[in-house]
Amino acid sequence: MSQPRLEALADHLRSLFPADDVTYLEGRAAGGKGDAVVLQRKPEELLAAMTLLRDDHYCDFKLLVDVAGVHYPDRDKPLELVYQLLSVHQNHRVRVKVALSEGEFVPSVNGIWWSADWYEREAYEMFGILFSGHPDLRRLLTEYDFEGFPLRKDFPVTGYHEMRYDETLGRVVREPVQLQLPNRAYYGPKASGKSGTH
């Protein structure tokens, strides 16, 4: 999308929302190949904003393309939801961001775009983001008693438990992860505790 059209979209959004909540990002700052318009909202403002973005004639964001969670452990509000909206008729996009505290609920937009259903379930499963009003907020990819949220930056790469088939018991067992590196020297002198070079 051309820069003048994106700037016109940003100006229109500034007429609908507080101007400080609308940001125009150029090039690399947008995180992609092109520029982007970003709208910040608080959880309690989200449903009204999303409904307006869908129904406003100029915005016309009829398509929810994606909902992604992000974890910033050093921020006061360490979780963030990023909604990507597209207007097929107007040929423009917008990002809507919502910052969240740990355990804070955000309203589900499933009633506005049905496609939000699995995106929100995934954000719940991978980041622990809680959605109020979601019709079926349960895990999609991991087992029901999975511990933790795998895409948070404080989640261990190995996870907490592993599943394996135990031949003596004749069934699958679940046990805490115990990593062993039998060929530890292969990883170099620092890992093996020896000094010197190969």
pLDDT in tens, 165-182: 999 999 999 888 877 666
What confidence score (pLDDT) does residue 181 get? 64
Task: Assign residue 113 a region (left: φ > 0; alpha: ψ between -120 and 50; beta: otherwise).
Answer: beta
pTM of the model: 0.82
Stretch among 17-31, 37-51, 82-96 having the lowest mean pLDDT:
17-31
Between residues 7 and 34, the one the model is more confident about: 7
Strands (DSSP E) contained in the chain are 22-25, 36-41, 63-71, 79-87, 92-100, 105-107, 130-132, 161-166, 171-176
What confidence score (pLDDT) does residue 133 get? 95
Q: How far apart are CA 42 and CA 49, in angstroms?
A: 10
What confidence score (pLDDT) does residue 197 get? 39
Q: Are 107 and 46 in contact (CB under 8 A)?
A: yes
Q: How far apart are CA 84 and CA 119, in angstroms?
A: 11
Taking CA atoms, 19 is separated from 25, 39, 43, 90, in Å, by 14, 9, 18, 22
Neighbours of 119 (CB within 10 A): 22
**89-137 confidence digits (pLDDT tens):** 998 999 999 999 999 999 999 999 999 999 999 999 999 999 999 999 9
Contacts of 115 (CB under 8 A, 6+ apart): 63, 64
Between residues 145 and 152, the one the model is more confident about: 152
134-141 mean pLDDT: 92
